[in-house]
Structure 1
Amino acid sequence: MPLIAFPTSQLLWVRLAALVFTCVAFSVAAHGAELSHRGMADWCIFCWAFSFACTLLVLLVEQFGLQTRAPVSWSNFPITVACYAALLCLSASIIFPLFFLKDQYLRNEVRDHRIASTVFSCLAAVAYMGEVSLSKARPGEVAGYMATAPGLLKVFQTFVACVIFILISDPVAYDHHAALKWCMAVYCICFILSMGVVVLCVGELTGCLPIPFSKFLSAYGLLAVVMYLTATIIWPVFQFDKSYGSRGRNSPRVIAAAVLTAFNFLLYLADLAYTARLVFVTV
């Protein structure tokens, strides 16, 4: 009877571990955790289910040797998926216990299910971090752009921007001064451009740009640093200074948005420094 032999590697085992961990996390949460706060519950289950589906897709394509038939750049797609999955599972690992384990009146069975989901979510985040570590480009190695430090920083930038959008949109925290609307414009413009770079690299579309991709990255990186610098200064000034009509808006969400704005500024600054030193772009 013929046997099908699947080549094994450390990367394969890490992906299989992530697949199992995310599957257990969303299965246990969906069927025994009795989740009531639907907004956050849906987000956590989405994080696990999305990560599971993308990892399964990557495993199937690689095990059946379909990389050349995939309509994306396979040197960029798997690590991009792994990086987003790591951030999604990490966010679920923080949000899920904060919203669903603080209730002291939970039945033991329900609490056990929620604890299990949290544990497996943390394990999935660690597995995806391991996959990113194994897949990223080493010094002197020619690899896809998304496997380099600037590529991974693009993923972090877009994810942090999404968190900022969530924090300042409900309730709206940028509508009482034109300067704060400028900050919102900064978040949107830089998010769109960073996500555009990710899509161009994963979709092998960098050749469609009217200028060389490396020059586009340098110009965009400099623009993003300048724009985020203004937002890093303007957001806390116009939110926390009562002379600008802050009206007591110093809520944890506004403070968190200020911190994440400064953090994203540092990410863009590091991105610009790496891009200036990058001597190859392979997509």
Structure 2
Amino acid sequence: FIGNLWYSVGAYMHAKDFTSPLFLVRTCEVLSSCTTFSLVASLESSEFNTSQSHTFRIFCMFTWCFFFTITLLIHILSIIQFHSLIPISWKNLTMTVAALGALMCLSASVVFPWIVIDHQRVSPRFVAAAVVSCLTVLAYTSESYLLRTQAHEQRGYMGSIPGLLKILQLWGGCQMIPLIVEEAPGLHNEYSWQLWISCTSYSVCVLMCLVTLVVILGDFAGRCLLPFDRFLAGFSLVGVLLYMVATVICFTKILQLRNNGPNTKQNTELVIMETVVASITLLAYTVDLAFSIKLLCDRSHA
């Protein structure tokens, strides 16, 4: 049986068009992400900026390793055509991985040079890792474009504008994890309430994104107690409110750090990064809420 199975797979693989754009970009994603984390793993600890903790290094390595693993699995399943056996919406899964991989690898490509930028001597391996990481971003962006240009029934919900906005929302929540971890030790005790409110807001929004993603990937929309469009509109409204609070807190922290003197340069950079990401994510939730309201209005008038 195993011999017949491998013979069938081999026959299919010979018939497969290995020169298709989708096959080539996924191969590039696997090779470039593997090369990136291999180069970074070979760097010495002394080559990193000691003023930053290991949080961002862990974040970068996790990003490259995670998307290497999941892209490799998707690539193999696509080649042997076993993805139909998985109880997951394949078109939504591939679009989610491609778009989220582009955003997460872009963040890693920006953060990684930042944690070593204070060093006057930069090793060739560091430069090579930064360049290959940028190539990984281009590969995931290319796959997102290829999947986005497919027919509507092939790209699924995550290939639509509301779906891409939800991926952007999930990306924003993921960026907050290392930023909050880095900011926490530098905050004064009287400002700890700001940290708790921000953490609560980000955690609730990430949880809502994950629930939405599970419902979409598992094709559970028809089993929801509420209509799925109202379900999404409610999540978008909650996300707008929570990120409005978090964004106001971010601007408040910037003013507080400016008044605390010049010894807070590192925390100021972190808070500015958090403010930028929070503002982008708030914009994504706002536009998503507008799409949800428009959809509800159109269906009510139909």
| TM-score higher than 0.5 | yes
Match of residue 207 from structure 2:
192
RMSD: 2.9
| Partners of 2:71 and 2:98 in 1: CA distance | 8
- Select the residue among 226, 242, 254 that pairs with 2:241: 226
| Partners of 2:142 and 2:68 in 1: CA distance | 16
Matched, 1:176 2:176: no
* Contact in 2 for aligned 1:146/1:198 (Cα 8 Å): no
Match of residue 94 from structure 1:
110
Superposed, 1:1-283 pairs within 5 Å as: 4-8=14-18, 9-31=20-42, 33-36=43-46, 37=48, 38-100=54-116, 102-105=118-121, 111-136=123-148, 141-142=152-153, 143-172=155-184, 173=187, 176=190, 178=193, 181-237=196-252, 240=255, 251-278=268-295
Moved more, 164-173 or 89-98: 164-173
| Partners of 1:180 and 1:24 in 2: CA distance | 36
1:50 shift after superposition: 1.6
Question: SS state of the match for residue 233, structure 1?
Answer: helix
1:63 shift after superposition: 1.0
| Partners of 2:223 and 2:293 in 1: CA distance | 22
Question: SS state of the match for residue 132, structure 2?
Answer: helix
Q: How many residues align?
A: 271
Moved more, 160-169 or 11-20: 160-169
Instruction: Assess, with a 3 A threshold, how the Cα gap between structure 1 residues 134 and 40 changes in structure 2: closer, same or farther.
Output: same
Instruction: Assess, with a 3 A threshold, how the Cα gap between structure 1 residues 256 and 278 changes in structure 2: closer, same or farther.
Output: same
| Partners of 2:195 and 2:129 in 1: CA distance | 38
* Contact in 2 for aligned 1:73/1:203 (Cα 8 Å): yes
Question: SS state of the match for residue 115, structure 2?
Answer: helix
Instruction: Assess, with a 3 A threshold, how the Cα gap between structure 1 residues 175 and 73 changes in structure 2: closer, same or farther.
Output: farther
Instruction: Assess, with a 3 A threshold, how the Cα gap between structure 1 residues 175 and 255 changes in structure 2: closer, same or farther.
Output: farther
| Partners of 2:253 and 2:66 in 1: CA distance | 37
Instruction: Assess, with a 3 A threshold, how the Cα gap between structure 1 residues 239 and 119 changes in structure 2: closer, same or farther.
Output: closer
| Partners of 1:274 and 1:206 in 2: CA distance | 18
- State percent identity of aligned pairs: 31
Instruction: Assess, with a 3 A threshold, how the Cα gap between structure 1 residues 68 and 126 changes in structure 2: closer, same or farther.
Output: same
Q: Which runs of 5+ in 1 are unaligned?
A: none
* Contact in 2 for aligned 1:154/1:195 (Cα 8 Å): no
Question: SS state of the match for residue 15, structure 2?
Answer: coil
Match of residue 51 from structure 2:
none
Taking structure 2 as the reference length, the TM-score comes to 0.78
Moved more, 53-62 or 90-99: 90-99
Question: SS state of the match for residue 103, structure 1?
Answer: coil
Instruction: Assess, with a 3 A threshold, how the Cα gap between structure 1 residues 102 and 241 changes in structure 2: closer, same or farther.
Output: closer
| Partners of 2:161 and 2:149 in 1: CA distance | 8
Moved more, 224-233 or 213-222: 224-233
Question: SS state of the match for residue 152, structure 2?
Answer: coil
| Partners of 1:105 and 1:175 in 2: CA distance | 38
Cα deviation digits, residues 65-88 of structure 1 (max 9, x gap) = 112101311021111111222122
Moved more, 34-43 or 5-14: 34-43
| Partners of 1:60 and 1:174 in 2: CA distance | 50
